[in-house]
């Protein structure tokens, strides 16, 4: 018989927990038999003492097995999934899902909402008139079979232990623990039952893991976990010091997605979309150049079919904001810095994001970037356009952006993709 106090004490003192102890603690907490205070104490002990590989595996397994797991082996096609650790302007899931689906791969992209400075995929898609993200498992399965791609909310039955534990970590300063992050992400993604998983692990000022070495360690641990479960897993380590693409928000990021699917769009968004698509296709056993389906319209066809299958209107105009404001260049030179976190927080202040779960967001709020680091600019040149439905939000966003920009004489744009870990 285990007790919560004994388990907390063991980890507090720096000793390894057995898989049985971890499983008991997770199950008891999920069932309400262990208090928030006790599990918070364990999370803090893990934060300081860490977990070894056996403990990480046991924690992931316990959270994975706390709910239902999906299985799409009956679809008759390979399945591939992608996860991003979150960034600013990160709309990659939107063009990536239909692009990979257009090659005959089932892509069950169960996504989340934005919180703080990072945007949410579901919030972006809900700016499309009629688009529905809350789907039944039967609908998801049928859409994967007929359309190939689906982007929707995860059911509460997937890894419910993780949902409860994450909510506790969020209010007890134990979010940024590598073992807890790895187990949290992988328990949810493994529950989705895909054959192939590609992880976009971001590092930099706008990323959750700002330190590159820490981000690499997280990527390596998640790849290891995936392969231990028999899932072909690859991690792409990417830079997130500058927002991705030219838009940060909801409807305007969908607008940019359509540009990419039409064969255009910002270079960095296209590069990352194609890189992740290449790894997803390779994991699914398909030898193809994903750029071909951006050029010939097949990815756009898959997007339109996906939107329609989720009750959206692919031909409906996207909503636009009633208020806008232009931020201009303070001096002449080369733009050397556009801090991703500051831009993300400014978009949040404009109404594009939320401070707490359940808070509504503005579909039209956001920021359009007219220049990126490496571009030569002149005094008074438009750098950004701010959009909002609430005009009095603009000054607070402007204040944040004043320290986000730097101008110098020369600048070398760093590579977007740092490394691939497989």
Distances (CA, A) of 59 to 69, 84, 89, 192: 16, 21, 32, 17
Q: Which of 84, 102, 127, 184 is catalytic?
A: 184
Reply yes or no on whether 372 is catalytic. Answer: no
Reply yes or no on whether 164 is catalytic. Answer: no
Do 197 and 189 touch, CB atoms closer than 8 A?
Answer: yes
Reply yes or no on whether 183 is catalytic. Answer: no
Partnered with residue 408 across adjacent β-strands are 334
- The CA distance from 145 to 20, in Å, is 39
- The CA distance from 337 to 405, in Å, is 5
Reply yes or no on whether 83 is catalytic. Answer: yes
Q: Which of 123, 162, 241, 339 is catalytic?
A: 162
Helix, strand or coil, per DSSP, at residue 359: coil
**Residue 47 in tokens:** 């934060």
**Residue 390 in tokens:** 């609430």
Backbone angles phi, psi at 117, to 5 degrees: -80, -10
Q: Which of 82, 117, 124, 169 is catalytic?
A: 169
- The CA distance from 307 to 328, in Å, is 36
Q: Which of 82, 117, 188, 293 is catalytic?
A: 188
Residue with tokens 């090659």: 103
Do 238 and 418 touch, CB atoms closer than 8 A?
Answer: yes
Residue with tokens 């209107």: 313
Q: Which of 11, 66, 82, 83 is catalytic?
A: 83
Reply yes or no on whether 188 is catalytic. Answer: yes
- The CA distance from 103 to 171, in Å, is 42
Q: Which residues are catalytic?
A: 83, 162, 169, 184, 188
């Amino acid at each position: 018989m285990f007790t919560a106090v004994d388990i907390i004490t063991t980890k507090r003192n720096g000793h390894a927990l057995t898989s049985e102890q971890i499983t008991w603690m997770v199950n008891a907490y999920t069932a309400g038999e262990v208090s928030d205070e006790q599990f918070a104490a364990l999370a803090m002990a893990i934060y300081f003492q860490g977990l070894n590989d056996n403990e990480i595996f046991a924690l992931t397994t316990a959270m994975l097995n706390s709910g239902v797991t999906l299985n799409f082996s009956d679809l008759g096609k390979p399945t591939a999934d992608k996860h991003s650790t979150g960034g600013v302007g990160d709309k990659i899931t939107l063009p990536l899902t239909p692009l990979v689906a257009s090659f005959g791969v089932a892509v069950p992209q169960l996504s989340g909402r934005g919180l703080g400075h990072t945007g949410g995929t579901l919030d972006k898609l809900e700016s499309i008139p009629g688009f529905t993200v809350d789907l039944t498992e039967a609908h998801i399965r049928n859409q994967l079979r007929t359309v190939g791609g689906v982007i929707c909310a995860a059911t509460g039955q997937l890894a419910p232990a993780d949902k409860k534990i994450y909510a506790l970590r969020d209010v007890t300063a134990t979010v940024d623990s590598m073992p807890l992050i790895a187990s949290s992400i992988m328990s949810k993604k493994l529950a989705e039952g895909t054959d192939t998983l590609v992880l976009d692990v971001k590092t930099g000022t706008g990323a959750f893991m700002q330190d590159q070495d820490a981000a690499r360690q997280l990527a390596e641990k998640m790849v290891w976990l995936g392969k231990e479960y028999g899932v072909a897993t690859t991690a792409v380590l990417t830079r997130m010091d500058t927002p991705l693409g030219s838009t940060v928000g909801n409807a305007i990021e969908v607008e940019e997605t359509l540009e990419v699917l039409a064969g255009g769009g910002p270079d960095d968004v296209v590069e990352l979309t194609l890189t992740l698509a290449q790894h997803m296709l390779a994991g699914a056993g398909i030898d193809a150049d994903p750029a071909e389906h951006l050029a010939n319209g097949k990815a756009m066809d898959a997007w339109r079919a996906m939107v329609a299958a989720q009750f959206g209107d692919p031909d409906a105009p996207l909503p636009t904001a009633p208020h806008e404001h232009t931020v201009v260049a303070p001096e002449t030179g080369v733009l050397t810095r556009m801090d991703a976190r500051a831009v993300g927080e400014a978009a949040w202040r404009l109404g594009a994001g939320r401070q707490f779960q359940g808070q509504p967001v503005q579909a039209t709020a956001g920021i359009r970037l007219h220049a990126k680091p490496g571009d030569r600019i002149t005094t008074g040149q438009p750098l950004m356009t701010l959009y909002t439905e609430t005009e009095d939000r603009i000054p607070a966003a402007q204040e944040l952006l004043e320290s986000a920009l730097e101008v110098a004489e020369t600048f070398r744009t760093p590579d977007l993709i740092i490394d691939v870990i497989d």
